[in-house]
């Protein structure tokens, strides 16, 4: 089973790294990029490939992984660092016991209240400038699956098999979705709904879904009346010092209710 998994990883390596290199030329100079991936995609080569591009990986790993915090002499299960809901831990160290897959990195562990298990995340960022809540941005991907198919643009009915045709349609869907989210989001913020929904803890994904729905309704009204202009929101700045990578002592604390909210302050993410 291990050999089969290793072969599958080798098959995926070149296409994924090629895709990441393609996006390198599209990122504006001076932007800090955080690349998120679920545990099914984690690989040491992916972590290193992201770093070679000058970006920062934030990759989820399985619950069974081991970690040796800096200054410790033995490995412990990553999950043992957050033994119950409401706990979080972050620190530098060595991930994984097996020599060929070992990785010096920062571990961010967070077990939110009401969830079945913890997030275990590996990054190259220093612990003091890292936050496990950033991984919540990956829920936008799951939301877009619905928006792109049965919940919105009905992509599944096209039955396209030609990659070139699909590429053009996906571009149109992406631009249209961006426009809908912007229009719906601005309207909801103006009415106080988006702020209220985040304060209630509904999460990033559900907020985006609400924005899309509102955007669709506003789009329909604009199509009928052809009035008013939509103003773009200014891009927030990247927090100072967040790109630094340095060793720091591990932190083992209670997770506050605010930890699960979006606190990216202008971080550019790819998932």
The pLDDT tens digits of the residues spanning 26-77 come to 888 888 899 999 998 899 999 999 999 999 999 999 999 999 999 999 999 9
Same domain, 187 and 162: yes
Range of the domain at 250: 2-135+239-270
Same domain, 19 and 35: yes
Report pLDDT for 267: 41
User: Is residue 260 assigned to a domain?
Assistant: yes
Distances (CA, A) of 8 to 117, 134, 251: 26, 28, 36
DSSP 8-state assignment for residue 25: T
pTM above 0.85, yes or no: no
Same domain, 12 and 75: yes
Same domain, 99 and 220: no
Same domain, 175 and 212: yes
Domain count, the chain: 2
Same domain, 25 and 122: yes
Q: What is the pLDDT of residues 153-204, one digit of tens each?
A: 888 888 888 888 888 988 988 888 888 877 776 766 666 654 444 444 444 4
Residue 122's pLDDT band, with cuts at 50, 70 and 90, is: very high
Residue 224's pLDDT band, with cuts at 50, 70 and 90, is: low
Contact present, 247 and 70 (Cβ < 8 Å):
yes
Same domain, 42 and 129: yes
User: Is residue 258 assigned to a domain?
Assistant: yes
Same domain, 147 and 131: no
Residue 146's pLDDT band, with cuts at 50, 70 and 90, is: confident
């Amino acid at each position: 089973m291990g050999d089969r998994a290793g072969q599958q990883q080798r098959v995926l390596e070149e296409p994924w790294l090629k895709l990441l290199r393609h996006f390198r030329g599209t990122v504006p100079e001076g932007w800090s990029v955080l690349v998120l991936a679920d545990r099914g995609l984690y690989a040491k080569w992916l972590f290193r490939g992201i770093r070679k591009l000058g970006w920062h990986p934030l990759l989820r790993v399985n619950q069974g992984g081991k970690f040796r915090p800096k200054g410790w002499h033995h490995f412990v299960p990553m999950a043992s660092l957050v033994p119950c809901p409401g706990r979080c831990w972050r620190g530098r160290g060595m991930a994984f016991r097996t020599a060929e897959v070992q990785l010096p990195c920062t571990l961010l562990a967070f077990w939110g209240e009401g969830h079945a298990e913890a997030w275990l995340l590996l990054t190259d960022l220093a612990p003091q400038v890292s936050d496990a809540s950033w991984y919540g941005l990956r829920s936008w991907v799951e939301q877009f699956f619905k928006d792109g198919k049965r919940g919105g643009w009905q992509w599944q009915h096209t039955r396209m098999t030609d990659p070139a045709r699909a590429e053009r349609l996906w571009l149109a869907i992406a631009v249209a979705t961006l426009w809908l989210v912007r229009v719906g989001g601005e309207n909801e913020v103006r009415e106080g709904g988006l702020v209220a929904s985040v304060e209630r803890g509904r999460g990033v994904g559900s907020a985006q879904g609400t924005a899309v729905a509102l955007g669709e309704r506003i789009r329909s009204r604009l199509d009928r009346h052809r009035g008013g202009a939509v103003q773009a929101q200014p891009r927030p700045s990247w927090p100072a010092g967040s790109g630094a990578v340095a060793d720091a002592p591990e932190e083992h604390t209670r997770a506050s209710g605010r930890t699960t909210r979006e606190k990216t302050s202008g971080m550019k993410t790819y998932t």
